[in-house]
Structure 1
């Protein structure tokens, strides 16, 4: 998502304190403690926003990655070598990101870099990754043009999350097949590239599937009164509303829509993900569905084991999607190193490209060799009476 991934502010900020993040740029010791030095370790860079305006997101993802590295080392490491994490703080600054990425690649000699959390941070090191043949991987950078720019594949750039436009496509399919929708209306935040991208993808897929989009209306960030535009939409005949955006406005939209008598399902993307959504919408949060990367209510054994381990490590805190994505990204990098012909950037990159059936907390995926994006299912989360009633994988 584009608004600096705002839905994790509260959870990630609380875990910043639990993690004891110092915000320094000193490299860390080997993950899990007791790792051998020199030829008995394999270095992986952690390059995240530990301070600055998006520190909550970077810290959360870094915490997930570090927990995964500790588990890997406790189980014997990768091909007999312990993972040594070399961690730096980008300070949420793209220039700093470029400088530190160069240091990780040329001085620290890491075989791969995990992070940053944002698309802008990842883009700041694309050229360096190609020059130095070091793969860079993000668990949360969702910009569609990150791994493929102007039709050209960025050979050393990968991610473990799906792209923004995929969410619109998935929800259009879900609305048609699961909600039996034949006619939709779209209400989008025109101040957000994220929301506009999701809306365009939904519109395209819904029509391609034989559906009709009866109307498309707009709102803007920070708006609080949606009665006029909702009344306008109410005059249409439709089976589903698609409303991509962020929870601050969405909670109010849902509440006001239900008050006006709009009973059709309301759907959207991962911008819905926040405890604040239920607070704002209250009991009106019924027949509401959105796409997400992960759900803490998922009963899959891999997910529950991750949650239990996370709570044990972080004072009973419940992990959010960023923690899960960081965790999966570290496991993906380690799995690629294990399968690579050698622990060099070029060979690790090749192994990443050939990934099939990687099983993580956020889903099982193949890497698309043409885009370096994961081919994975989204998690659909549904609400009834203000509480989660649906958690299912869908693609």
Structure 2
């Protein structure tokens, strides 16, 4: 089913109730999905822990989408959508518990989330319960691999790793250092795909540095990089490490071109690193200006209540993850209506064959046999004057 973005945004003007950001809908209602006129869609995100800020950014995208489209129609009956927010705490063990809670709450589908590791940990629970999930920014290939019930609207690490490796070579950085977070599926997967493409194009990895999750002192590895003499670093870490790396590098007098992945597209980067973030280059899922109608509506919504603005770290800037969350929510709604059913298997089957062109921001959504969105476009951004500025749109492959 297609719906124009304009129609959906117009609908949002008459929406009268929103689930508060960070509140648990499941604690406010004892109704199970499909009971009465209410169905539940689960939100699987980190509210706390290492990725808490990333989860908060994504929740805004989902909540905005919910304000735009608060209902679905199934078999001629209109159902109000209730968002069931569950915090996976950026932890793989807690992720399993959060997934089971969404299942026991009777959610007809799940959206999320930020962090590939937690999504991988939750995936088998959704599959076993036959509840479809749509990933928002979880780019590691293993999220959907072998799981018929996990889909995603974002591109994958092999794609963005290839794009950023090509960009580095094109800019003349034929020697580079890389920084890997051991045990982090996102970082390690992206490092490997970057390395493969970079070396295939004639580049040399001069030094490969690693660190453990929750480390905060990077002076030793940054000193190694400084001594290597490279002019660029590829560091696709989670955003929480970005200011630490940049600030400590500045303290050491290490002046290089920093290259990162989509996770650095977070206001924490510019907020905590300040001038030290200037010149950082990264890729992201969506860049402001890509859809002016969406941009204007999202900014108006963010500024409508102080809690939204506060959750977005005091700015109405849009990051790529928020557009992906908007799309994931809209695709889930389309699948429910296309299936004309509240049964998980029917919704899953609808997702597998769906094509969503209107009402989504990141381009037409069609899933391949693995449940991955067929996407071949990313946006390269550079930090200038403490803001993410558009550099170029890159299309790679078919």
Q: TM-score range by the shorter chain?
A: 0.7 to 0.9
Listed as ranges, the matches of 1:66-215 within 5 Å are 66-73=63-70, 81-92=77-88, 93-104=94-105, 108=106, 110-115=107-112, 117-119=114-116, 121-123=118-120, 125-148=122-145, 153-177=146-170, 179=171, 181=172, 183-191=174-182, 193=184, 194-208=186-200, 210-215=201-206
Q: Which runs of 5+ in 1 are unaligned?
A: 1-17, 31-35
Determine helix, strand or coil for the equivalent of 2:217.
Answer: coil
Query: Could you tell me whether the CA contact under 8 Å between 1:144 and 1:164 is conserved in 2?
Result: yes
> 1:229 maps to which residue?
224
* Alpha-carbon offset, residue 255 of structure 1: 3.1
How many residue pairs get aligned? The number is: 352
Matched, 1:249 2:244: yes
Shift of 1:102: 3.1
Distance 1:196 1:260, change over 3 A: same
| Residue in 2 that maps onto 1:8 | none
Distance 1:256 1:79 in 2: 63
CA 1:91 to 1:390, structure 2 compared with 1: closer, same or farther past 3 Å?
A: closer
Question: Aligned match of 1:217 in 205, 208, 221?
Answer: 208
- 3-state DSSP of counterpart to 1:294: coil
Q: Tell me how far apart the structure 1 counterparts of residues 30 and 305 of structure 2 sit (CA, whole Å).
A: 20
Question: CA 1:91/1:20 → structure 2, altered by over 3 Å: closer, same or farther?
Answer: closer
Cα distance 1:131–1:26, how it changes in 2: closer, same or farther (>3 A)? same
User: What CA distance in whole angstroms lies between the structure 1 residues aligned with 2:173 and 2:56?
Assistant: 42
For each residue in 1:16-51, what CA deviation from the matched residue of structure 2 results, as whole angstroms up to 9, or x when unmatched? Answer: xx9364447325599xxxxx974xx57342243576
Task: State which drifts further: 56-65 or 365-374.
Answer: 56-65
TM-score normalised by length of structure 1: 0.73
How far apart are the structure 2 equivalents of 1:380 and 1:24? 37
Aligned to 1:3: none
